[in-house]
Structure 1
């Protein structure tokens, strides 16, 4: 996904003179020619996320279209005041692309984890949150939304889906499979394992890549049982409010396969962490079995 994003940014800077790009000491080598050729609009600002956000806000106020790239926890948590006051309060269109989703950088420890990113951004009215599951989906979602005038946060992952890669639309869920006994929501990079777990099951599978705004209409139209299994690569409970709102007035039973709400103090590879915290096809199969 990172490579697809950086290629798209290089193309954007070269062909769209009202766009700007900032990075914080990451991804410079991949677009070094653009950084050299367009220094007024394409800059590595160094380790300075909060200042970068305010500069981008100023450019957006002047009618430019800024895109920012960095590591997810620093883009979300270090700059929270700037997100709230510079972006959301002033209703500015800025694109924030973060790498290092959840536990994508396991060897660097807790400072580089960000399982809370979607929940934090969803609490700031007016902000949008996008979590593509593949490079193709990132390009589709970015192209559909980068000029929409809203602060839009893109979570890119180094561990995309490799089997299931449907076309996606910003703000819309994809109905991947229909059934009657439960509705399984697969978020972003969880789609492959959800489809493995749901093979041969009489359940509906909905695939979400836009988490804010949440497509409650598709869920309401595709949840005959009132039973929902949320499979999300972020903290458990991130989408509970959206599900309950979409199914308001109906009996609802929710279970989840997601990261537990705790500080991650252990160490290991990405796959070991996913196994340890139960984000696996086997865990989804077991949880779904109990739900239905």
Structure 2
């Protein structure tokens, strides 16, 4: 259980970005009202590099693109639905088409704030970015991983980076390496592979505790670590993807990784159909079939 004194991913984001703004004069932050209070002090110290555009998300991305054209490394932050979905045309034109880099950091992704309703849910954000080239996508499962991945994203100059923060998290951080899948549990040579993305790891570990499976952990999903997935396979090329966003988002990537092998892929994630009864995060996970009990039943049925 999370300690009351332990930082959330968004709190860690605030601390990390404040440090980067103080230390690196090329770093800039663009906000759209969300998260402004976190950066009040550093904004007073660096008003030329901390910009709040108000509730104008298309402008948020446009300003980030403009700052990148001047040689700065912009970080843009708001809720995922307002960062990816609403200004998608600006992502396509002001960043990708212009050939500039930026770091997008979201919050409230798929089900973080159910009381906010559908307007504040974006389970299709990663799938939408997949329609554009050259995006690096990170899905940390713990605040410590968010810190590491955010620093990596900012340091990767002139690249397009998306860091997807969430209230949903694992109890402990993993020793993640950006871009590489981590083997958390090794099954027998006959075991299938379950790939848990970001905050889904704890539920996957609980679901598979007595099952003969290899569990991989992904805190970076784009580029997809095809070599890491292939290396985890035993004699069976059976893979289960468990993602905290739209079901099937990484299915094509898994098929590409295993194209030379007879294989099967089961995708588990947030269903395409809208869930209209808004409750807590655990209630949404249960409704989506993403809690430990449902995952165990679905994984066991598929692999055996």
Give the aligned partner of residue 60 of structure 1.
68
Q: Matched residues in 1 for 2:59 and 2:195: separation?
A: 37
State whether residues 62 and 90 of structure 2, in contact with CA within 8 Å, keep that contact through their aligned partners in structure 1.
yes
Give the aligned partner of residue 21 of structure 2.
13
- The Cα of 1:201 is off from its aligned counterpart by 2.2
Residue 97 (1) aligns with residue 97 (2): no
Q: Matched residues in 2 for 1:167 and 1:93: separation?
A: 27
Give the aligned partner of residue 160 of structure 1.
169
Q: Matched residues in 2 for 1:44 and 1:265: separation?
A: 33
Residue 187 (1) aligns with residue 197 (2): yes
Q: TM-score, normalised by structure 1?
A: 0.96
Residue 231 (1) aligns with residue 242 (2): yes
Q: Matched residues in 2 for 1:288 and 1:182: separation?
A: 10
- The Cα of 1:266 is off from its aligned counterpart by 2.1
Q: Secondary structure at the match of 2:245?
A: strand
- The Cα of 1:86 is off from its aligned counterpart by 1.4
Cα distance per residue 1:219-275 (max 9 Å; x no partner)? 011122111111111111101001000011211112232111112322212211111
State whether residues 137 and 221 of structure 2, in contact with CA within 8 Å, keep that contact through their aligned partners in structure 1.
yes
Cα distance per residue 1:162-206 (max 9 Å; x no partner)? 1x4211111111111111321000001000011111113221111
Q: Matched residues in 2 for 1:29 and 1:105: separation?
A: 19
C-alpha RMSD of the superposition: 1.2
Q: Matched residues in 1 for 2:77 and 2:140: separation?
A: 16
Structure 2: runs of 5+ lacking an equivalent: 1-8
Q: TM-score, normalised by structure 2?
A: 0.93
Residue 261 (1) aligns with residue 272 (2): yes
State whether residues 198 and 219 of structure 2, in contact with CA within 8 Å, keep that contact through their aligned partners in structure 1.
yes
1:1-292 aligned within 5 A:
1-148=9-156, 149-162=158-171, 164-179=172-187, 180-224=190-234, 225-292=236-303
State whether residues 132 and 156 of structure 1, in contact with CA within 8 Å, keep that contact through their aligned partners in structure 2.
yes
Q: Matched residues in 2 for 1:116 and 1:55: separation?
A: 24
- The Cα of 1:46 is off from its aligned counterpart by 0.6
Cα distance per residue 1:18-60 (max 9 Å; x no partner)? 1111111122222211112211111221101111211111111
Q: Matched residues in 2 for 1:42 and 1:265: separation?
A: 37
Which range moves more in the overlay, 89-98 or 186-195? 89-98
TM superposition outliers: structure 1 runs of 4+ over 6 Å: none
